[in-house]
Amino acid sequence: SMSNQMNRVAQLYSEVAQLEHLMLSSSDGRAKAQTRAAMAKARILKAEAELAMRRARDEEEYENVVREAEMEQIRRSEELTIDRLKREDEAARVRAKESMQMKFETSQKAERKNNEMAETLSAIQHERALAMQR
């Protein structure tokens, strides 16, 4: 984990400090080589820790970008759904209006037919009454 890496880096730096002290107080070539190796190892670990932190930051940024893209997709999808529902609602209103208009026209035609039939019947009855009087 990140804190373990940072603790390890701190530990290595303290080891390097001890080894540097040892190196200054010694003319031993082996101590100098050990110190250089430890310092190189500490630098590598520090670079790795920084890289890991940068990678974690990049991953977090990437996740944020992905999350924002997903939210945008959801918002667009909601807008499209609302638009579709509005269009369907409008189409249903138009159909209902047309249907009522047709029913009204049909009932008017039926009423006209009934009136015509009543007039015809009345005329026939009138003719019959006149014929019976003769």
- Condensed to tens digits (0 to 9), the pLDDT of residues 15-43 reads 777 777 776 776 667 767 777 787 788 77
Domain with 111, as residue range(s), is 2-133
Going by pLDDT thresholds of 50, 70 and 90, the confidence category of residue 80 is: very high
How many domains is the chain built from?
1
Residues 6+ apart with CB under 8 A from 56: 2
Mean pLDDT within 32-55: 81
Residues 49, 3 contacting (CB under 8 angstroms): no
Identify the weakest region by mean pLDDT among 14-28, 77-91, 93-107.
14-28
Predicted local distance difference test score (pLDDT) of residue 27 = 67
Measured CA to CA, the distance from residue 94 to residue 124 in angstroms comes to: 45
For 62-72, what is each residue's pLDDT tens digit?
899 999 999 99
Residue type, 72: E
| Region at 32 (left for phi over 0; alpha for psi -120 to 50; beta for the rest) | alpha
**H-state helical runs in the chain:** 2-24, 29-133
Task: Indicate the Cα dihedral angle 43, 47, 52, 55, nearest 10°.
Answer: 180
Residues 6+ apart with CB under 8 A from 2: 49, 52, 53, 56
